[in-house]
Chain A
Amino acid sequence: MNPIAMKGGFTDAPVQSAQNFRALLSALSQPGTLVEMAGAEPPAPLSPAAGAAALVLFDGTTPVHLAGRLDTPDLRDWITFHTGAPLVAAEQAMFALGHWDDLQPVTRFAIGTPEYPDRAATLIVEMPDLTPDGATLRGPGIDGEATLSLPETRAFQMNRALFPLGFDTYLTAGNRIAGLPRSTLVEAV
């Protein structure tokens, strides 16, 4: 196996997983808040934040889709070695990693069923930059309103219209992450 694949995991998995999970939890429960992730050094071009999210959430029971430019041999090996997650097509994925344009059309991803809305995909979207300005967010977790730089607004509005179905999204850039659950109402400025 490619030696790059074996590097860049957590050095103290129980503690670093816990700390990074809390970052993921506060990001998703307070949409628009930028949270720092730490401890993972995945091979390029995956960001450290997305890598840490993968180490916290993926395992052999979670099919993962690597989209477009992230579908590299190094990353396939890294995800496989560290998490054991099966790599699958978009339609079967519980998690998807990719740039926004590589993930299109996002309507491919699982949105859950009326009886089990939790059986929906989580998209981890790599962004060139992530800043607390741009589209306006309202909904659970937000005191009044928040702002966040989104790749677009229409897809998230259509996703919100499906509530309680729909995919959930994390946006990552460098070591920062922001959450955008399906419950958030998005408005372009």
Chain B
Amino acid sequence: MSEHYNFAYLDEQTKRMIRRAILKGVAVPGYQVPFASREMPMPYGWGTGGVQVTAACLTPEDQLKVIDQGADDTTNAVSIRKFFQKTAGVAVTERTTEASVIQTRHRIPETPLTEGQILVYQVPIPEPLRFLEPRETETRRMHALEEYGLMHVKLYEDIARNGAIATAYAYPVKVEGRYVMDPSPIPKFDNPKLSNSPALQLFGAGREQRIYAIPPYTQVISLDFEDHPFEASKAPHPCDLCGDEGSYLDEVITDDQGGRMFVCSDTDHCESRREAGHTGRLSPQEDAA
């Protein structure tokens, strides 16, 4: 840990302000609390909101896991993990089960979360109504009046054009029957995991200066219609490395002849399964000799 930084990078005054916003977010699940987002030593769009929420929550006893689209080993995840190793001196892990704080970009781990864990989401556009109504004054009033008809019109137009709700990520949800919330660009496959989770879920949007939360054991419902119920979809394949039929998959192009493979997007989940002896279509074959 570098002695040149205050614990977890931010100054105490800033952390106090963020902490108060987090607590108000917890008290009003799904409501976006404005906060005075700071410049961070990384560009907007790289998780500055998530980083500020994580910085306000970390204690020296924490084990931090950072994932980017499910992977522990991609640029965004590696650099944020290093950032907190340097500025907070916290232990880091790639194991979902060992982590006390998990910062995520656009996935919820496959391994079910447990009580006491905190999942911090990086959020680009926190306002679910923003692409339908660009004015903040109007969307704020729509939330105040619980006026969410526009969102249903958008989902209906999906059905009218495509025969089904085409929204595949950042699928809008309603929290405890009150606020419509953007769950950040997680695939809709992950939406059912938002509801009734034993873990605390915190959302940070740095550029847009909003923090919101879903406390543990909170009801989160994906918006839908009786005749077009919500469906958590994924590519209809097993993982080619660990054989899991139920995990969310990334498609990887392997050559220019149309070759491709499907692998778990959650690298920790996939590795744990392979260590436990599970194999998939493209697993290296054991040499009989």
Partner of A57, one of B16, B116, B215: B16
Partner of B7, one of A18, A30, A183: A18
Q: By the criterion CB–CB under 8 Å, are B216 and A115 in contact?
A: no
Residue of chain A at shortest CB distance from B61: A19
Given contacts A21-B19, A61-B17, contact A143 B217 (CB under 8 A): yes
> Is there a chain A Cβ closer than 8 Å to B12's Cβ?
yes
Q: By the criterion CB–CB under 8 Å, are B216 and A28 in contact?
A: no
Contacts of B60 in A (CB 8 A): 15, 18
Q: By the criterion CB–CB under 8 Å, are A164 and B31 in contact?
A: yes
Residue of chain B at shortest CB distance from A95: B20
Given contact pairs A15-B7, A163-B28, a sample of 12 additional A-B residue pairs in the complex whose CB atoms are under 8 Å apart: A17-B15, A18-B58, A21-B15, A24-B19, A56-B19, A57-B19, A57-B23, A115-B143, A118-B34, A168-B24, A181-B26, A183-B29
Count of interface residues, chain B, beta-carbon cutoff 8 Å = 48
> Is there a chain B Cβ closer than 8 Å to A134's Cβ?
no
What is the CA–CA distance of A101 and B144 in the complex, to the nearest angstrom?
A: 32
A61-102 contacts to B (CB < 8 Å): 61-62
How near does chain A come to B183, taking the closest CB pair, in angstroms?
16
What is the CA–CA distance of A135 and B37 in the complex, to the nearest angstrom?
A: 39
Q: By the criterion CB–CB under 8 Å, are B19 and A163 in contact?
A: no
What is the CA–CA distance of A14 and B3 in the complex, to the nearest angstrom?
A: 13
Contacts of B219 in A (CB 8 A): 140
Partner of A29, one of B7, B145, B179, B216: B216
> Is there a chain B Cβ closer than 8 Å to A13's Cβ?
yes
> Is there a chain B Cβ closer than 8 Å to A4's Cβ?
no
Given contacts A25-B23, A118-B33, A164-B31, contact A183 B176 (CB under 8 A): yes
**A contact set with B: CB distance below 8 Å:** 13-15, 17-19, 21-22, 24-26, 28-30, 56-59, 61-62, 113-118, 120, 122, 139-143, 163-164, 168, 181-183
Partner of A141, one of B25, B34, B216: B216
Q: By the criterion CB–CB under 8 Å, are B27 and A168 in contact?
A: yes
Among all A-B residue pairs, the 6 with the closest Cβ atoms: A14-B7, A114-B144, A181-B27, A141-B215, A118-B24, A140-B218
What is the CA–CA distance of A139 and B179 in the complex, to the nearest angstrom?
A: 15
Contacts of B115 in A (CB 8 A): 30
Partner of A14, one of B12, B34, B145: B12
Contact with A along B95-137 (1 / 0, CB 8 A): 0000000000000000000011010000000000000000000
Q: By the criterion CB–CB under 8 Å, are B59 and A18 in contact?
A: yes
Residue of B25, B26, B34, B116 most packed against chain A (CB within 10 A):
B26
Q: By the criterion CB–CB under 8 Å, are A22 and B217 in contact?
A: no
Contacts of B8 in A (CB 8 A): 14, 18
Contact with A along B54-76 (1 / 0, CB 8 A): 00111111000000000000000
Name 22 interchain pairs, CB-CB below 8 A, sorted by A: A14-B12, A17-B15, A18-B58, A25-B19, A25-B57, A25-B118, A25-B200, A26-B200, A29-B213, A57-B19, A59-B17, A115-B141, A115-B143, A115-B144, A120-B27, A140-B176, A140-B217, A141-B217, A163-B28, A163-B178, A164-B28, A181-B27
Residue of chain B at shortest CB distance from A143: B217
Partner of A118, one of B6, B29, B31, B178: B31
Given contacts A14-B7, A115-B144, A141-B217, contact A26 B19 (CB under 8 A): no
> Is there a chain A Cβ closer than 8 Å to B22's Cβ?
yes
What is the CA–CA distance of A58 and B12 in the complex, to the nearest angstrom?
A: 11
How near does chain B come to A109, taking the closest CB pair, in angstroms?
14
How near does chain B come to A41, taking the closest CB pair, in angstroms?
19
What is the CA–CA distance of A58 and B198 in the complex, to the nearest angstrom?
A: 29
B155-183 contacts to A (CB < 8 Å): 176, 178-179
B20-56 contacts to A (CB < 8 Å): 20-29, 31, 33-34, 56
What is the CA–CA distance of A30 and B197 in the complex, to the nearest angstrom?
A: 12
What is the CA–CA distance of A56 and B18 in the complex, to the nearest angstrom?
A: 11
Q: By the criterion CB–CB under 8 Å, are A182 and B26 in contact?
A: no
Residue of chain B at shortest CB distance from A122: B23
